[in-house]
Structure 1
């Protein structure tokens, strides 16, 4: 007498289908010592029922006017607990793979990012990996994991759009570096790095449209300014010119 699914939440509420023979006239389905609810006799070979709350492994039996069946095992699973995301932000287009750590992950069937679901790969009971789906708009969304034990929320993932560069001011400075530069554009609040001619520069995020950076030392001539965030990079070609000092 198979039962499907054969596991469900400790809180109950799992709709199961029990198949067998001589199931007509079913009067009760029990999970261990607890009666199931919403018992429906679909056919002489099939009964559906909703599991009560419980823990561990219990035997499920079906009772008809002819007697009570042999028990089949059903396993209660606790709701998952998520502790962290390996990466908390990424491109609006999705496609990047992240790891979710926690407990009770071995029966994970879906991960939702702001209501958009993806199918995870179970690595272990404490780890799953999932490819992030595309987001509807830049910004934070809730992340939930659904397992046989239920759904757990509580983590946040931020969709980030590709940055753009509008202006770089001033546009020149000494080859020794040390020039304070203001960069304006869009989607700059999640900036990971700023480079001048390929050399990383220290920077501070002012707001979503403004960065402050200090030029590193460079070679005389025009160089590209590149701003990078988790969604990609923006390049202002030849936007800053290093000027050599006078010599006598």
Structure 2
């Protein structure tokens, strides 16, 4: 007399089908000592909704002819989440985030708001996912056979823009203090001139102050990178060679 599925959430509510013979007029299906709710019954099957419970229990069917031998059913505890390896990222998504917690194995879905992430690795203590595209602050929800959990939030960060740099020229020796203006600059983590990192300070969401590194004479690209992505001011700064005598 098989049972399908043979596992479900400790909160109960799992739809279970028990098949066998002489099952007509079933009066009770018990999961351990707890009664399930019979939703359908034929001579060869009983449909039942599991009650709440914990651990491994025996499932028995009672009919006018007696009570069956028990079948094993395993209650799965709901997942819990402790932390996210990253709590923010670009609206375009695509970055990898690790969710740590307990009872996470067998995850069937992870969503960031209404959008499904791609699960790339999963065990009881962690899930690694590729973040989907999205906007704003969203709840991260994990669904496993044991239930679902949320309570952790992920912040999507808008992509930056860079519109101006002042002054826009300076010596090849570097050391020129410049102000870069744009939008979405609060989370700036890198400023480069022709690929060379510059020291910088974030003033506010629309301004970053930087000091040019040494460079080669000519116009170079200025790239500002934030949690939300990168913005390039093509040929935005011109290195000017010093006089020679």
Structure 1 length as normaliser, TM-score? 0.87
- In the TM superposition, residue 230 of structure 1 has moved relative to its aligned partner by 4.2
**Paired position in structure 2 for 1:23:** 23
For the residues of structure 2 that align with 1:93 and 1:219, how far apart are their CA atoms? 34
1:149 corresponding residue in structure 2: 146
Q: Structure 1, residues 84-113: CA drift from partner, whole Å, max 9, x if none?
A: 323333332333333222221112111110
- For 1:3-47, what per-residue CA distance to the aligned partner results, in whole angstroms no more than 9, with x for missing partners? 2332222232333232333322121111111112x3212433332
Residue 57 of structure 1 is matched in structure 2 by 56
Q: Which runs of 5+ in 1 are unaligned?
A: none
Change (3 A) 1:117 1:23: farther
SS of the residue corresponding to residue 92 of structure 2 reads coil
Task: State the partner residue of 1:71.
Answer: 70
Corresponding residue number in structure 2 for 1:104:
103
Matched position secondary structure for 2:191 = strand
State whether residues 55 and 75 of structure 2, in contact with CA within 8 Å, keep that contact through their aligned partners in structure 1: yes
Unaligned runs of 5+ in 2: none
Q: Aligned residue for 1:241? A: 238
**Distance in 1 of aligned mates of 2:46 and 2:59:** 12
- 2: CA distance between counterparts of 1:188 and 1:8? 47
* Structure 1 residues 194-248: Cα deviation after superposition (integer angstroms, max 9, x where no partner): 1011111122333333322222222332211011234532211111122344556
Contact persistence 1:108–1:122 (CA under 8 A): no
Rounded Cα–Cα distance in structure 2 between residues aligned with 1:16 and 1:53 = 13
- CA shift for structure 1 position 188: 2.2
Match of 1:203 in 2: 200
Contact 2:107 2:122 in 1 (8 A): no
How many residues in Structure 1 have an aligned counterpart in Structure 2? 245
Q: For the structure 1 residues 32 and 200, does the alpha-carbon distance in structure 2 shift closer, same or farther, using more than 3 Å as the test? A: same
CA contact (8 A) 1:164 1:234 kept: yes
What TM-score results when the alignment is normalised by the length of structure 2?
0.88
Residues 5 and 192 (structure 1), Cα distance of their counterparts in 2 relative to 1, 3 Å cut: farther
- RMSD between aligned residues: 2.3
Distance in 2 of aligned mates of 1:3 and 1:191:
56
SS of the residue 1:224 aligns to: strand
Go from structure 1 to structure 2 and tell me whether the alpha carbon gap of 1:95 and 1:9 turns closer, same or farther (over 3 Å shift): same
